[in-house]
Amino acid sequence: MRYAESVTFGGSGLNRAAELRNPEAQVALLAQNNARVTFFWRGKPLLEGEDNKNLRLAWVDLNHEFMTYQLGSLIFLGLDEGDIPLFLADVSTWSPSDLPDTLNDFLDPSVQTHPALRNGEYFAELRSVMTHMSIRDAELAVIGRGILEWHRGHSFCAACGHSSTIEMAGWQRNCTACKKSHFPRTDPVVIMLITHGNNLLMGRSHVWPDGMYSLLAGFIEPGESLEAAVRREVFEEAGIRVGSVSYLSSQPWPFPASLMFGCEGKALTADINIDPNEIEDALWVSREEMLDVLEGVHPKLKPARRGAIAHFLIENWLADTLT
């Protein structure tokens, strides 16, 4: 495996066992006494353990009392070691007695517990725990959040507007009227490590926490290559012309449903002219300054969150370990 694949959510080689998503195979898997289920509540995975010690996804048996809170069908994630069937249940219909004001914040620090879960399990924001999880649990968590987000936004047929039903163990939706089949979608995004000599181009969105800067990024448009998207996005956002472009690494990013393509680009110009409708600010940061940023001692800039591909690319750019 390339070092570039060690990025958070890079994958553990889970056996997704797509051949077992048909109804007959699912009946057999659900009849196995070793089948396990994990839960998501409003995008938060169910966890056990502490952030820096034995943090992992929490699993229960199919007959656990918390299963009564599940919303819709179980989703088949795949087979774990020992061919253990792993399933996902959405329990977002459960309403805790106290809903925090931070629930929809960029990074919600609150956790939720339920009396039916008696072993210390809790729901927590994936962004806050993603770097403390094992590679396998991180992969399962990103699958779970991504597939549930797709179901949440695609309960009606995009072709005719009628309702659709969950099929193929959660990996397909079929329209009840026109019978059209729909499949989970992933939005391709380029995120760019743009350099000019010893300097790195950084920018910030209007909605980010104060001081946070990251690499420029943008969605790939229909009919566009990775290289063309990099050059277009950098020019649109910062007015910088980019020459050579190369691919570095990718990361599934479930906030809400993107696949980030990390690319390196060489700037042909240095004068920044931002589009205020796209970003709030952009600037060149030297290697020396970037070391201070990642160490948290820069007077102005705060780094991209650890676990995000931007942080991964910057860290490896500084260490000359991008390839």
Instruction: Verify that 242 and 286 share a domain, yes or no.
Output: yes
Residue where one domain finishes, among candidates 153, 170, 203: 153
List the chain residues with pLDDT less than 70: 1-3, 52, 323
Instruction: Verify that 39 and 97 share a domain, yes or no.
Output: yes
For residues 216 and 42, what is the distance between their CA atoms, to the nearest angstrom?
28
Instruction: Verify that 139 and 234 share a domain, yes or no.
Output: no
Instruction: Verify that 245 and 104 share a domain, yes or no.
Output: no
- Global model pTM greater than 0.85: yes
Instruction: Verify that 119 and 203 share a domain, yes or no.
Output: no
Strand partners, 5: none
Residue 159 domain-assigned (yes or no): no
Host domain of residue 310 = 187-318
Residue 146 domain-assigned (yes or no): yes
Q: Can you give the pLDDT at residue 208?
A: 87
Residue 247 domain-assigned (yes or no): yes
Instruction: Verify that 200 and 144 share a domain, yes or no.
Output: no
Question: How many domains is the chain partitioned into structurally?
Answer: 2
- Which CATH number do you get for residue 219? 3.90.79.10
Residue 164 domain-assigned (yes or no): no
Burial class (CB in 10 A: 0-12, 13-18, 19+), 28: exposed
Return the axis-axis angle of helices 287-295 and 309-318, rounded to nearest 10°: 130
Q: Can you give the pLDDT at residue 278?
A: 93
Instruction: Verify that 222 and 123 share a domain, yes or no.
Output: no
Residue 55 domain-assigned (yes or no): yes
69-133-85 Cα angle (round to 5): 50
Instruction: Verify that 7 and 53 share a domain, yes or no.
Output: yes
Give the amino acid at 200.
L
Residue where one domain finishes, among candidates 153, 177, 210: 153
Residue 163 domain-assigned (yes or no): no
Can you say how many angstroms the Cα of residue 299 is from the centroid of all Cα atoms in its chain? 30
Question: Would you call 174 helix, strand, or coil by DSSP?
Answer: strand
Q: Can you give the pLDDT at residue 1?
A: 42
Q: Which of 222, 205, 193 is nearest to 285 (CA)?
A: 193
